[in-house]
Amino acid sequence: MNEALADRPILVLATSACAYPGADATGQAHLHYSERAFVVKVPSPVVFPDSFYYRCFEKGIGGIVVMSCGEECPYRGAFHQLAARLDRVSLGLRERGIDPRRLKLCSICTVCTKSFLREIAQMEETLQAGSAGAA
């Protein structure tokens, strides 16, 4: 492996209804999180097909944190579809020799700054542990 996992970017897919306002609240509170975390506002992460996640890892993304509204999703059935999709993708990652812990689904509310920070920190720890194991 040419590049350590710990040096790779973290993609954060944040739902516009819940998780992105939580990310925004984190920034407004001037709370620090990794500069390698890139937050993308999406209506619902369920719109991304399985292949999207595989391509992200192929292109060098270290980890993906899918921050959703959870059961509070405004789109009927979307959270359950998303959870099923990410379970399927995790199995595919394992088959490809990619640690499935590099993909995580969590629920973040509009004011969950501590949870937002914790999820990014946990992904960084996962990537650092993966780098240590690869060395």
Ordered structural domains, the chain, with CATH: 5-134 (3.40.50.960)
The region that residue 42 occupies, defined by phi over 0 for left and psi between -120 and 50 for alpha, beta otherwise, is: beta
Triad 71, 27, 62: Cα angle to 5°:
70
pLDDT in tens, 74-104: 657 678 899 999 999 999 999 999 999 999 9
Tell how strand 10-15 and strand 103-107 pair up.
unpaired
Joined tokens for residue 92: 């595919």
pLDDT in tens, 53-74: 999 999 999 999 999 876 665 6
pLDDT category of residue 18 using cuts at 50, 70 and 90: confident
DSSP 117: H
